[in-house]
């Protein structure tokens, strides 16, 4: 339901506070509903001046007496007085909603202005004091005629409420003659004066002025302005009464000093003459009574006029004293102003000299500015050329990058194709692997020199670095006494020779006596050393977050290949960072798996180991409680402990990797997940890897667009680096 719109009652008020508060009080008594809002229609003069005089606190003064500054000060003072009066009006309304609408009175009649306001704002209720029209016209008859004018020409939707001294009156017409009537039926002719109407509305009120001691303090300067015309009319009335005093006296003398009664007249004539004189005496007595009554009224009116004039004279004397003091102050201010003018003149003369020197400097600076502008135009032209050239270079760089990406994808595709083809050929041809002689093995390892031994692999094996056919190889030597039997060794060689995958360490050959297997050499060692023991600076440059995502995808690809082997899947069983080797291009390959007849294959252990490996890649930590802590934490908490040595991880990618790791770790704890397989994990990891490549491509593009900075060497795949600059063994 919509809110109810409050009905507006417009109350027309002038600058007389007594009249304004009386009108507002009547309106608030008439409409006390909360759905009513009062709009104070404040009528004020556009300025307090006319052509011949100016309204000041001292009264009317000639217009040529006031300066422009004084006029502006009077205008501001009048505005402040009006604002204070409006604040009092609004406060008088109390809890009733009130707003103010200021209307400036121009030269046009007030009744015409009010009719325009009624039509413009579609005023439905208008309350006004009848004396408001008098204040605009200055005449009592004009106030009544103006009220009748508004009453006749107002729109039908507007209700007009006219008050007189706080009472509601009504305008009537009868026999083509207007009259006004109050709510008690008292009438007055519309052609009478406003004073007569006020006397008829309030016949019991005394219009006489009280004593000066009781009434003078309550008078305001506006009261004199409102009664000045009545005082003038009373003055002219006194003059006319003085000129008419001689008529009645002459008439009385004629009445009583008439011709004497002739002695020779009869008694009847004498009686008749006396009767005539007695009748005349009665008439004179009646006229004297009326005159006495009129004299009483004139006496009261005279006392009122004397009282008002006395108070006015006292006010004028006080204001004259104030004006004299003001003139003295103004004279002092004028003298001070003249001294300041002299100082300003001297200062202006000094400023003129400075201005002339500054003009010369300005002319010189203008010439320099023109030269600078020409140089600026030349530099801007060169800059435009440089920008165009830079844009062309960026386009070329982008094209080279696109070609590099295409070439890299082709190289990876060819590597996988060659590895798959090699595996297929070995599978089709059966056991085809090169067998090296004992002499070749001893020469390659410098007779198993300790200098070339990489480590002791445990299980009665040692790993040596060597060179066969000018290529670096890793030779795994089995202990002849505590090692494998000849049949087990041949079976392991056969299985390893049949397995080929880009992310499994490839077997190159073997030697039956001594028992050893030759693998491809991984130049960057194991992932454990690169991730946990390498210096932090080199670790951050080589194993950034993008390289770690690639390694996780590569290890997952190798595990998925082993788990999908036929006729029986192969489980690694001991997957950890030391079993992940890195070649010269930081490609991860799995090492150390055995055929399944050595032990019972446990695929869940590979899932757990792979999840642990991904967590180590994310956090850079290597401790036994990492898995337990990861199980307690969710993926959001894992993001807080990411390895900052890998650079700024993309949060979305890190969250996805953490989720995959937690799924793999939880495979051992709960019931077996039939949907979880290494092939499924591989698809999820591949999606993460593609997103990582897109992010890296976007960052390279942004870097090139911002300043064409070169990409760090660590971000360039080593396949694009000349082999001469790569470390060879």
> Residue ranges of the domains in the chain?
7-207, 273-402, 430-521, 524-729
For the CA atoms of 700, 703, 704, 705, what is the dihedral angle to 10 degrees?
120
Q: Are strands 507-511 and 434-435 parallel, antiparallel or unpaired?
A: parallel
Model confidence at 397: pLDDT above 60: yes
Task: Give the mean pLDDT of 403-415.
Answer: 81
Model confidence at 171: pLDDT above 80: no
Say if residue 567 is preceded by a cis peptide, omega within 30 of 0: yes
Sequence-distant (6+) residues with CB within 8 A of 612 are 576, 626, 627, 661, 665
Model confidence at 147: pLDDT above 60: yes
Q: What percent of the chain has pLDDT over 90?
A: 25
Whole-number Å distance between alpha carbons of 722 and 728: 12
Model confidence at 448: pLDDT above 80: yes
Task: Give the mean pLDDT of 173-188.
Answer: 52
Whole-number Å distance between alpha carbons of 77 and 59: 15
Q: Where are the alpha helices (DSSP H) in 138-220?
A: 140-153, 194-201, 212-215
Mean pLDDT across the chain, nearest whole number?
77
SS3 at position 264: coil
Model confidence at 281: pLDDT above 70: yes
pLDDT reported for residue 196: 47
Report the CATH fold assignment for 524-729: Transferase(Phosphotransferase); domain 1 (1.10.510)
Whole-number Å distance between alpha carbons of 282 and 270: 18
User: Which one has a higher pLDDT value, 411 or 247?
Assistant: 411
User: Which one has a higher pLDDT value, 461 or 609?
Assistant: 609
pLDDT in tens, 676-687: 888 999 999 999
Whole-number Å distance between alpha carbons of 180 and 535: 110
Task: Give the mean pLDDT of 528-552.
Answer: 79
Q: Identify the band that residue 428 occupies on the pLDDT scale cut at 50, 70 and 90.
A: very low
Among 122-126, 487-491, 591-595, 625-629, whose mean pLDDT is lowest?
A: 625-629
Cα separation values, 185 from 91, 120, 171, Å: 34, 34, 11
Say if residue 514 is preceded by a cis peptide, omega within 30 of 0: yes
Task: Give the mean pLDDT of 533-539.
Answer: 65
Compute the C-alpha angle 21/27/32, nearest 5°: 120
Model confidence at 205: pLDDT above 50: no
Q: What percent of the chain has pLDDT over 70?
A: 70
CATH 3.40.50.620 at 7-207, yes or no = yes
pLDDT reported for residue 558: 92
Whole-number Å distance between alpha carbons of 300 and 303: 5
Query: Which tokens hold the place of 340?
Result: 């300041």
Among 38-42, 282-286, 293-297, 572-576, whose mean pLDDT is lowest?
A: 293-297
Whole-number Å distance between alpha carbons of 523 and 472: 9
pLDDT reported for residue 316: 86
Place of tokens 């056991």: 431
Task: Give the mean pLDDT of 108-133.
Answer: 89
Bridge-partner residues for 679, per DSSP?
A: none
pLDDT reported for residue 687: 94
Cα separation values, 675 from 184, 566, 614, 659, 678, Å: 101, 20, 20, 16, 10
Model confidence at 242: pLDDT above 60: no
Task: Give the mean pLDDT of 112-131.
Answer: 91
Report the CATH fold assignment for 430-521: Phosphorylase Kinase; domain 1 (3.30.200)
Q: Positive or negative CA dihedral for 194, 196, 198, 200?
A: negative
pLDDT in tens, 307-316: 878 888 888 8
Place of tokens 């890897």: 689
pLDDT reported for residue 561: 92
Q: Are 180 and 170 in contact (CB under 8 A)?
A: yes
pLDDT reported for residue 61: 59
Task: Give the mean pLDDT of 534-548.
Answer: 73
């Amino acid at each position: 339901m919509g809110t109810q719109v409050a009905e507006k009652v417009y109350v027309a008020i002038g600058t007389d506070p007594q009249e304004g508060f009386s009108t507002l009080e009547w309106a608030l008594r008439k409409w006390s509903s909360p759905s009513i809002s009062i709009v104070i229609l404040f009528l004020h003069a556009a300025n307090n001046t006319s052509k011949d005089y100016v309204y000041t606190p001292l009264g009317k003064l000639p217009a040529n007496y006031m300066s422009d500054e004084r006029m502006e000060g009077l205008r501001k003072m009048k505005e402040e007085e009006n604002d204070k009066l409006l604040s009092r009006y609004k406060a008088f309304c109390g809890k009733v909603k009130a707003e103010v609408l200021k209307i400036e009175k121009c030269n046009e009649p007030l009744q015409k202005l009010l009719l325009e306001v009624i039509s413009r704002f579609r005023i439905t209720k208008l309350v006004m004091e009848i004396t408001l029209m008098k204040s605009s016209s200055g005449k009592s008859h004009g106030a009544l005629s103006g009220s009748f004018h508004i009453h006749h020409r107002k729109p039908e939707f507007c209700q007009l409420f006219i008050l007189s001294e706080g009472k509601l009156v009504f305008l009537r017409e009868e026999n083509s003659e207007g009259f006004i009537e109050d709510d008690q039926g008292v009438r007055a002719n519309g052609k009478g004066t406003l004073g007569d109407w006020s006397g008829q509305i309030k016949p019991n009120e005394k219009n006489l002025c009280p004593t000066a001691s009781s009434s003078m303090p309550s008078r305001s300067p506006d009261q004199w302005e409102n009664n000045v015309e009545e005082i003038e009319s009373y003055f002219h009335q006194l003059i006319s009464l003085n000129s008419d005093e001689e008529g009645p006296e002459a008439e009385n003398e004629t009445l009583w000093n008439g011709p004497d009664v002739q002695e020779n007249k009869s008694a009847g004539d004498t009686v008749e003459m006396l009767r005539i004189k007695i009748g005349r005496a009665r008439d004179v007595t009646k006229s004297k009574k009326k005159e006495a009554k009129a004299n009483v009224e004139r006496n009261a009116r005279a006392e009122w006029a004397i009282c008002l004039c006395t108070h006015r004279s006292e006010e004028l004397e006080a204001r004259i004293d104030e004006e004299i003091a003001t003139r003295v102050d103004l004279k002092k201010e004028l003298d001070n102003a003249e001294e300041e003018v002299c100082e300003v003149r001297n200062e202006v003369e000094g400023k003129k000299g400075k201005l002339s020197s500054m003009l010369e400097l300005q002319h010189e600076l203008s010439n320099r500015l023109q030269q600078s502008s020409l140089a600026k135009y030349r530099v801007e032209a060169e800059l435009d050329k440089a920008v165009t050239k830079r844009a062309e270079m960026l386009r070329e760089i982008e094209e080279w990058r696109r070609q590099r990406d295409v070439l890299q994808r082709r190289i990876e595709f060819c590597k996988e194709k060659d590895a798959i083809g090699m595996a297929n050929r070995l599978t089709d041809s059966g056991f085809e692997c090169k067998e090296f002689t004992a002499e070749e093995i001893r020469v390659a390892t410098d007779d198993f020199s300790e200098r070339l031994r990489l480590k002791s692999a445990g299980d009665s094996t040692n790993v040596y670095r060597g060179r066969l056919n000018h290529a670096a190889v890793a030779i795994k030597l089995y202990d002849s006494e505590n090692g494998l039997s000849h049949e087990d060794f041949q079976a392991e060689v056969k299985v390893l020779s049949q397995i080929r995958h880009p992310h499994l360490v490839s077997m190159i050959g073997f030697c039956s006596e001594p028992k050893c297997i030759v693998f491809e050499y991984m130049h960057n060692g194991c992932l454990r050393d690169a991730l946990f023991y390498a210096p932090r600076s080199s670790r951050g440059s080589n194993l950034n977050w993008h390289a770690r995502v690639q390694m996780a995808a590569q290890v997952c690809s190798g595990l998925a290949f082993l788990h999908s082997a036929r006729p029986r899947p192969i489980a690694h069983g001991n997957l950890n960072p030391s079993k992940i080797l890195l070649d010269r291009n930081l490609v991860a390959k799995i090492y150390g798996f055995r055929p399944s007849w050595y032990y019972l294959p446990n695929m869940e252990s590979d899932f757990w180991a792979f999840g642990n490996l991904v967590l180590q890649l994310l956090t850079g930590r290597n401790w036994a409680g990492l898995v337990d802590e990861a199980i307690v934490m969710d993926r959001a908490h894992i993001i807080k402990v990411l390895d900052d040595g890998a650079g700024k991880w993309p949060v979305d990618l890190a969250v996805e990797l953490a989720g995959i790791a937690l799924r793999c770790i939880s495979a051992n704890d709960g019931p077996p997940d039939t949907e979880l397989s290494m092939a499924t994990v591989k698809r999820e990891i591949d999606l993460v890897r593609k997103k990582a490549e897109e992010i890296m491509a976007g960052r390279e593009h942004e870097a090139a667009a911002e300043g064409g900075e070169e990409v760090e060497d660590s971000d360039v795949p080593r396949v694009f680096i000349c082999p001469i600059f790569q470390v060879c063994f």
